[in-house]
Amino acid sequence: MAGGTIWYEATEQYGVLTIRRGRYGEAAMPVATFEGLQPAGGRLAVGPAGVVATAHPAPDDAGSEAIDSVLPEGRIAKDGYELRYNEPEGGVTLWDLEAGAAVYVFGPEDRQVDQPPAGVRESSEDGEFALVFEDPETGADLVTFTYEDLAPVFEATSDSDSATVSVDPEDYEMPETWVGWSADGSAWGWQTMADAFGIDNASAGGSEFAVGSDFVIARVDATQVEVAVSTNAQGSYAYASAQSSVGLQARWFIARVPGVQ
């Protein structure tokens, strides 16, 4: 958050990175999208001079069908309503328990857009994610599902659908990290870690950024990692995660932002 403005990055459609911005207590709206990228796991760094983001290229061999397969299956009841995942198949239903009828029914096609469908919005009040459903007649808030409400269903899906096996790090290439910079959140420039800091992808570990009034500070950890590859039960996709790392050194960089008075 900076100056009452909330920034965050998300993947709302596979292979498309979305940068969102909004005022405190309001839904954040998309200001930039990038095809072929996905979040690298770090937070956006925001300051008076602009915004810094990190991302990975989206794997070419994992299509949207694989991502769709991890849609959770379960029901979450709250305040007289029930959120039903994978009902219909590949979609989501909000069910009125008292009326015994659906308030909203969203199919798989509704998940392939950058913004939530009509009647639904994402909230970041107090910095906490929430999914808000509106009354289809009045537009007033009907029911809100917080991250804590949703977590059990997603965690259960992750536990049941994935298995981890260890592999030789030499057999797997860690995804390349890209660093993005923007003065206003709309126009962006991207560089690889090698181009930005002279650190090859195999040695680049975690990175942190801070944005000042006319400069950017970066800390990049050079590490050696042991890798584990996870696949879903059907083996249709895989991702890598660092099981452990050996820190070599932390390198610091500072750059003046051009054009800032």
Per-residue tens of pLDDT for the chain, all 261 residues: 455 678 877 765 667 888 888 877 677 788 899 988 887 766 789 999 999 998 888 766 444 443 344 577 899 999 999 999 989 888 899 999 999 999 999 887 776 555 678 889 887 766 678 899 999 889 899 999 998 898 888 776 555 544 444 444 455 566 788 899 999 888 999 998 888 888 776 666 678 899 998 899 998 876 655 444 444 333 333 333 444 445 557 788 898 876 544
User: In the Cβ-directed half-sphere of 101, how many Cα atoms lie within 13 Å?
Assistant: 2
Name which of 235, 246, 58 is nearest 164 in CA terms.
235
Question: d(Cα 261, Cα 254) in Å, to the nearest integer?
Answer: 17
Question: d(Cα 16, Cα 90) in Å, to the nearest integer?
Answer: 19
Query: Which amino acid would we find at residue 66?
Result: A
Q: Residues 23, 144: contact at Cβ < 8 Å?
A: no
| Tokens found for residue 250 | 């932390």
In Å, how far are 15, 58, 163 from 39, measured between CA atoms? 10, 9, 22
Amino acid 22: pLDDT: 81
Name which of 236, 240, 254 is nearest 201 in CA terms.
240
Q: Pairing between strand 50-57 and 81-85? A: unpaired
